[in-house]
């Protein structure tokens, strides 16, 4: 995704981690002009993700990020667009208190890290960028995919999780979250 401003000026790292402060590194701190551009990028990404998932409204926007305790990992390609860079996609995660059912149907209260939104630009999908972003997040959060919960995963995302992390056997839930076999087992061991 290209923007009429310099992406490399906004985001110095290949993967930037954004939170409620909408600050990406030292450069944008105390710079309302840069933060406005960051907000534009997030809003645009949120809209594109909603469209790709056929949602009626975006679940990611700058104002939502400012009011929630979520983290957004943003991947750029710094070399393209004549050296101004382009945005490749994003992954949004956050902790949620959930009531889940284990294999035996017993209610378990948990607060796992959840994938809340995930999007790679249309023309760049299936090139390994999603995996790069997801793996970055796993390392940064020091978490395993099986210990996470997934909010309304799309068919493409389910295929992604099966291919890269062998997550295929989900445990039926009564809410929109998907957890996989091993979530309850490994959670106990991880605590």
Residues in contact with ligand ACO by CB under 6 A are 49, 52-53, 115, 117-120, 125-131, 150-154, 156-157, 159-160, 163
Using CB atoms within 10 A of its CB, is residue 19 exposed (0-12), middle (13-18) or buried (19+)?
A: middle
**CA-CA distance, 92 to 98, in Å (whole number)?**
17
Closest distance between ligand ACO and the C-beta of residue 151, in Å? 5
Query: How many helices (DSSP H) and strands (DSSP E) are in the chain?
Result: 6, 9
User: Which residue of the chain is nearest ligand ACO when measured via CB?
Assistant: 130
DSSP β-ladder status, 113-120 and 149-151 = parallel
Closest distance between ligand ACO and the C-beta of residue 114, in Å? 8
Closest distance between ligand ACO and the C-beta of residue 145, in Å? 12
**66 or 159: whose CB is closer to ligand ACO?**
159
Using CB atoms within 10 A of its CB, is residue 47 exposed (0-12), middle (13-18) or buried (19+)?
A: middle
Closest distance between ligand ACO and the C-beta of residue 87, in Å? 13
**52 or 110: whose CB is closer to ligand ACO?**
52
**9 or 176: whose CB is closer to ligand ACO?**
176
């Amino acid at each position: 995704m290209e923007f009429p401003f310099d992406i490399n000026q906004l985001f110095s790292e290949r993967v930037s981690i954004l939170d409620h402060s909408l600050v990406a590194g030292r450069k944008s701190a105390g710079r309302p002009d840069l933060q406005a551009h960051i907000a534009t990028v997030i809003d645009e990404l949120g809209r594109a993700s909603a469209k790709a998932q056929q949602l009626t409204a975006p679940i990611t926007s700058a104002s939502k990020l400012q009011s929630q305790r979520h983290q957004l990992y943003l991947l750029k390609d710094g070399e393209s667009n004549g050296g101004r860079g382009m945005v490749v996609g994003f992954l949004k995660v956050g902790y949620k208190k959930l009531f889940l059912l284990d294999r035996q149907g017993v209610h378990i209260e948990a607060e796992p890290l959840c994938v809340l939104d995930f999007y790679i630009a249309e023309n760049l999908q299936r090139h390994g960028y999603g995996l790069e972003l997801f793996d970055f997040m796993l390392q940064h959060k020091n978490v395993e995919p099986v210990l996470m919960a997934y909010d309304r995963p799309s068919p493409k995302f389910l295929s992604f999780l099966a291919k890269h992390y062998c997550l295929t056997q989900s445990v039926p839930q009564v809410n929109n979250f998907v957890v996989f076999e091993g979530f309850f087992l490994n959670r106990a061991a991880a605590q």
